[in-house]
A and B are shown apart, each in its own frame.
Chain A
Amino acid sequence: MNVAEMKAKHILLKEFDFKVKELYRGYSDKTLYINLDDNTIKEKEVPQSMKEKFIGGKGYGLKMLWDATKPETKWDDPENEIVISPGPIAGITQYAGAGKSLVVAISPMTDIVIDSNVGGYFGPFLKFAGFDALELQGKAKNDVIIVIDGTKGKITIEEAPAEAMDSHILAEQLTEMYSDSDAPRDMKNISVISAGMAAEHTMIGMLNFSWYDIKRKNVRLKQAGRGGIGTILRNKKIKAVVVKAAGVTADPNHVADMEPIKERGARFAKEMKELDPHQCRMKQEGTAHLVNIMNDYNLLPTNNFQYGSHKDADNLHSRVWNSYFTQGMNDGCWIGCTMNCAKAVDNFELKSGPYKGDKVIVDGPEYETAAGVGSNMGIFDPETVIELNFYCDTYGIDTISFGTMTAFAMECFEKGLITTAHTGGMDLSFGNIESSLELIHQMARGEGFGKIVGLGVRGMKKYFAENFGADPKFMQDIGMENKGLEYSQYVSKESLAQQGGYAMTNKGPQHDEAWLIFMDMVNNHIPTFEDKAEALHYFPMFRTWFGLMGLCKLPWNDVEPENNAQTDEPAKVPEHVDNYITIYNAVTGQNIDKHEMIRQSERVYNYQRTFNIRRGYGLRKHDAQPYRAAGPVTVPEYESLAEQYDKQMKENIGIDPEGKTTEEKIAITRRYREDRYEQLLDAVYKRRGWTDNGVPTLAHMKDLGMDLPEVVEVLSKHQ
């Protein structure tokens, strides 16, 4: 069936006309609300107070989600929303990494707010259509697509029964369907949000955001991966959201002053050209450049985070990815990005599943994917990593969670907690390629053991204990989840600060709040609890700021100015921080400094913590980590680094390991490390202005100007 025939099968449910409002200094001050229960479509004005306190991006998402839901709202209740907001800087094309969207919702995995950032053209195009954010609420009866046409000022909700469900086909079909012609100049004006078959049957569904790659003449995908937002999309029976733009002009944001933005953008582009080839090689290898480095530093998760390196890790070395990635392309996931790190494998021939034999574009793998579906599952075959990457994307599931979940199931299998009697006959030993692929196809079909794995680590722990008699305590130790979300792909055992950087996060253990391993474990720069607490204050707040703005974090510190070493705080990359402040002021016409930058983030960060508390979470007990994140659980783990652990026992704990069994040494190490983590919580909570129970104090919220009535109502019960 061609796209015209598919379109003919659409049933128009609602049509809504609107006047496209031009942006002014990065904002339209309007948001779009769509409710699929009754097909309501309406525009909302953004109050000035919301703009001042929540800024945009994740801030807007949190505020709108709070207002739309009740404390007891569950992920699959109709009132749960998916809110997409890019932020005031999103859509500029003169500085790298300015096309991000932030997506928030009540997560099916954590029962708290999830936030996920994503590239692709949707966020900027939504702004160009005149909306600072999009709220999707309610549930459709049948599969629908939502079309936001920023060229005609028209929004439609249409039943769409004929299109494919998997993203690599669906995004292509809809791009072609809504483009004015099949010429690249028109195709590039369409962006699609979609999920896929496995998003329907697992809790780890994600959203693909598309853009049309002019050079390749094909649709590319970036992912809002974490926390199951794709599962919510499909639960709402949304097949896709399409946005159409009239094109991209030089200044669609109508910024206050373009010159400083251009100047900083040119300066950054020069750094990329001259320094990136000698630094991270982002333009050649993207984040996959990290695989061998993490292996060298014993940080590459291997076999469910048991180990940090592997003898076969060279098979996933950056030079391998370099050879797979097509070089010399403009691989930016938004226009004007000079980092160009959205690498892709072209003409990859699939070896399994429903698309076996097809030659496809695979977006990635990024580092997280290579480590997640590679080393952490004991797989060191690059083509299997690429294949799993492709199927995760097109089926609409998160590569990070898929990797950590499957690794957990594999360890349970190897340790005898589950057997082939439970897996439907599958051998789930680490490194089993056939079983790994079968699992993902089962997830897409919603059948077999894949459906059980698709519950996530927390879900599997419960299921295995209740149905298979597996040991809950051991599974708690090795199951790499916190708050219900799977860990991303770094071994944190030897960095106490990173343990906090993972388990103290608002949404669950994703490294986008703080990545402190080098600073802590290698540099020994933050030895005291107070030092670590300062880092766990500054970096999560600083990095939150990207999510308020519609910015990508990578250009901040994946290339660094030549004189960065001579600055007073090189880890913060002061010149790039100054770029961001300059650009924010130039877009909005405001005049903030680096201190106000952190305050902007603190307001939103503390609001998100309060949101979690409102829902019955967000307290000290919810910041607990599985022991494997902190130290060796099993005898082989301890003995793999016995010399190092023994030395630490003698020097740091003051106990002579001589004559002790490995089990005794594991117990001693564990008591010490668990105690230190509690001390870290104390120090960080104090630095962040929170009580010992992890609750923001009313005095701190007042100081931030966030003593809003609804916030005070929640927090006053916990002071």
Chain B
Amino acid sequence: MSKITVNDNVVEWNDGLTITELLKIMKYTFPMLIVKVNGELIRKDQYGTYLVPENSDVKVVHLMSGG
């Protein structure tokens, strides 16, 4: 299986995987996210076009809210 890690969890990778699709797969619906791929910050306007490379280390940082 081709894979990436997302917040240290192993996740299946597919060719052409964008950040938008990855967030959908992970059910990460919270609006205040910071996404880094191999340490590089991905801007929100790139989520639909940026292709996540195989074996990437993806960090999706959820900021706090509520309370």
Contacts and interface: CB of A to CB of B under 8 A. Distances in A.
Nearest to A573: B63
Contacts of B66: 287, 290, 367, 490, 511, 515, 558
Contacts of B67: 488, 511-512, 515, 553
A524 B30 CA distance: 16
B31 interface: yes
Nearest to B33: A565
Interface residues of A, number: 33
Interface in A536-564: 553, 557-558, 560, 564
A582 B28 CA distance: 35
Contacts of A565: 34, 41, 61
Interface in B5-50: 7-9, 27-32, 34, 41
A296 B27 contact: yes
Contacts of B1: none
A287 B34 CA distance: 21
A411 B29 CA distance: 30
A667 interface: no
Nearest to B42: A565
Nearest to A522: B62
B17 to A, nearest CB: 19
A525 B61 contact: yes
A522 B7 contact: yes
B42 to A, nearest CB: 10
A523 B7 contact: yes
Contacts of A281: 31
Nearest to A294: B66
Given A524-B7, A524-B8, A565-B41, A518 B63 contact: yes
Nearest to A558: B65
B63 A557 contact: yes
A571 B64 contact: yes
Assign chain B's interface to a size class.
20 to 34
B31 to A, nearest CB: 5
Contacts of B31: 278-281
Contact of B34 (A293, A296, A297, A570): A570
B64 A515 contact: yes
A465 interface: no
Contacts of B60: 522-523
Interface centre among A518, A557, A558, A566 (most CB of B within 10 A): A518
B41 A566 contact: yes
Contacts of B62: 518-519, 522-523
A31 interface: no
Contacts, number: 69
B5 to A, nearest CB: 10
B48 to A, nearest CB: 15
A518 B30 contact: yes
A490 B63 CA distance: 16
Contacts of A511: 66-67
Contact of A293 (B8, B30, B41, B63): B30
Nearest to A488: B67
Contacts of A512: 67
Nearest to A556: B64
A292 interface: yes
Nearest to A278: B31
Contacts of A573: 63
Contacts of A523: 7, 59-62
B27 A560 contact: no
Given A511-B66, A566-B41, A292 B34 contact: no
Contacts of B7: 522-524
Nearest to A295: B29
A558 B30 CA distance: 12
Given A523-B7, A524-B7, A570 B63 contact: yes
Contacts of A297: 27, 29-30
A290 B67 CA distance: 10
A279 to B, nearest CB: 5
A571 B32 contact: no
Nearest to B9: A524
A558 B63 CA distance: 9
Contacts of B32: 279-280, 560
A516 B30 CA distance: 15
Nearest to B26: A522
A564 B44 CA distance: 13
B22 to A, nearest CB: 14
A564 B63 contact: yes
Interface centre among B9, B31, B34, B64 (most CB of A within 10 A): B64
A557 B63 CA distance: 8
Interface in A290-331: 290, 292-293, 296-297
B62 to A, nearest CB: 4
Interface string A177-192: 0000000000000000
A515 B63 CA distance: 11
A626 B45 CA distance: 44
A281 B67 CA distance: 15
A296 B29 contact: yes
A566 B8 CA distance: 21
Nearest to A572: B64
Given A280-B31, A523-B61, A571-B64, 10 more contacts: A279-B32, A290-B65, A293-B29, A296-B29, A297-B29, A297-B30, A515-B64, A518-B30, A560-B32, A564-B63
Q: Kindly list the 4 A-B residue pairs having the minimum CB-CB distance in the complex, ordered from nearest.
A: A518-B62, A565-B34, A511-B67, A296-B29
25 contacts: A278-B31, A280-B31, A280-B32, A281-B31, A290-B66, A297-B30, A367-B66, A511-B66, A511-B67, A512-B67, A515-B64, A518-B63, A518-B64, A522-B7, A522-B62, A523-B62, A524-B7, A524-B8, A525-B61, A557-B65, A558-B65, A558-B66, A560-B63, A570-B63, A573-B63
